[in-house]
Structure 1
Amino acid sequence: MAAEGNGHANESALTVVLAFAANLGIAIAKIIAAVITGSASLAAEAAHSVADTFNEVLLLVGLRRSGRPADRRHPLGHGMERYIWTLLVAVAIFGMGALFAFYQGIETLLGHHGAEAGPLVGYAVLAVSFVLEGISWRQAVRQVRDAARAENLPLLTYIRRTDEPTAISVLLEDSAALIGLLLAFAGLGLHQLTGSAAWDGVGSVLIGVLLTAVALILGRINLNLLTGAQADPRIVADVRERLGAADEIEQLVDILTLTFGADRILVCARLDFRDTLTAGDVERACVRMSRELREAHEEIDEVFLEPVPRDDPELRERVIARYGRTLRPRGPGQA
């Protein structure tokens, strides 16, 4: 599992570094072009690129800190710290990008805009930015598609279920950047054609709406991970089947799974063992089943198995409160 996790981390780091380099150059060019042309859309896009550049730094910090090994104070490691830093990215996209875009757009719509110059510099910067953003976007798409293919999931399903939000963050940022560039181009072009700066203001406001949507989507993904998302349903189903099929088990009473980092899953299960087993038999069965689960799924990092009676009323109430019913014994192939 360590090798696979390191591979994902290295690929994510490459994606983030490439995005950082592209966004830094684009941000500088957009700032210069915005100052020369006086375009609100270009100013909004400049703020967007500055936010994205800052965000790549946050993502790199998250990758590094979340990769630290477990210690006494953090027995499950630091994997979930990655979600904190990615959540900060969502906040930065809204705070540094969207709000500034709204401000620029509203100011322009109200007629408060500075001196204007020829838009040719703006068009050139937007074209170059589109090419550079496209390179970064292509790397992010390739990583996410490869990961979805490895998980045998459709792309959108993978994005909803993934426990690795770094590449998703870059993909969303770059997708928003490409759309934002088209909006800025449209605002600048309509301004030139009509002579009305209102179009430039509208373009800036639309960029703000776009960035707000991206921030909300990214925030929702990380909020779900931070609040304790269960493992991939396919892994949960396989764990249930394997535990329920063990010779020593009468019934699987309860099961909990928790994603606590990229490719790291915690499994806790309460099992009703056969009454004819000795304490030694139960101990050896727990060790064997834990090993088999980790061998079957590299993502499973920790396994805790607890022997319990299936008819305990308090435990039964807890299971019903969580699932709406008790867990039924499962046969092969049942969902």
Structure 2
Amino acid sequence: MRVLTALLSLLSLSAVAVACGHRESAAGQTSGAASAVHSTAYPLTIENCGVKVTFDGPPRRAVSLYQASTEILLSLGLADRMVGTSTWFDPVLPELAADNATVPRLADNDPGLETVLAAEPDLVASASAHTFTAAVVADRSRFAQLGIPTYQSPSVCAGAKVDGESVTRTERLSFDTLYREIRELAQIFDVQQRGQDLIERLTRRLDDIPSTTAPDVSVAFWFSGLRTPYLAGCCSAPGLYATELGLGNVFADAREDWPEVSWEALADRNPDVLVLGDLSRGRVDGDALESKVAFLESNPVTANMAAVRNKHYVVLTGSELDAGIREVDAVVKMAAGLKAFGLAQ
């Protein structure tokens, strides 16, 4: 495991490079954010993932049912207006830890509807496709019947079709989707200046990274699962990372965010690099990094893949494989790994 330890240490460095594609998006968003900031006029009605939602005033008792949503709300300085969180994959971002400690955790995974209602929320937000389903927490229509507004991350529905837990996309995610979510939440809570400042911080980080590309390098993204792995398709957050770095996602022909594939299919496509999710939640076999590496190197189907033979593993947290404010961190880490492997220009 000395190789993995060294790699993990290397990936923590931030002086790395990514492709120039993000700059055009980031620059456009920054100039848009520079416009005058106005207070929210209530009642505010927005159309969110096909649902019209009205807010009579800024929420005071928000519940966030997914880590990515929680970290955006905390980044907007809204801990004092949050009364619950759930569905955690990893420890919260260090800079948000103090604020997060003041917000009750309703559940590590998905809470029941009764648990959510007991928190008396005036907003329920989630960045997950499956949260707002009767099988998990409740449909958005059920919350509406109870007089509770809901907010679904645009990353779930932008150019996408949601069927239960499955998301199939017709277009790729972009950083613009993240910026839109930040702007909308800032408007809902009437903290537009904070939203503008957060977007500018993210775009500055992207702009400060020198350009680098990795042409003719193929990659696969493994989220979890040992029996049948969940590997990223074309158009979710990992697809965005591959595009930014000029990588070829070996499952770019899959429109589903995280299709289940066979090990034989992965070995047949033989990626140069494997991005491995290290999920601290420990909910299923294959969540932890160690279990992934042990499986890859001991399974005869995968042991001879180029990425495994060369130990070309880039490690991301589970949250970095999701759409959210960690998208920037993910691109930085991937670029560091590619440079360490000698695969980036």
- TM-score w.r.t. structure 1 length? 0.22
Structure with a larger share of its residues in strand: 2
Bigger Cα Rg: 1
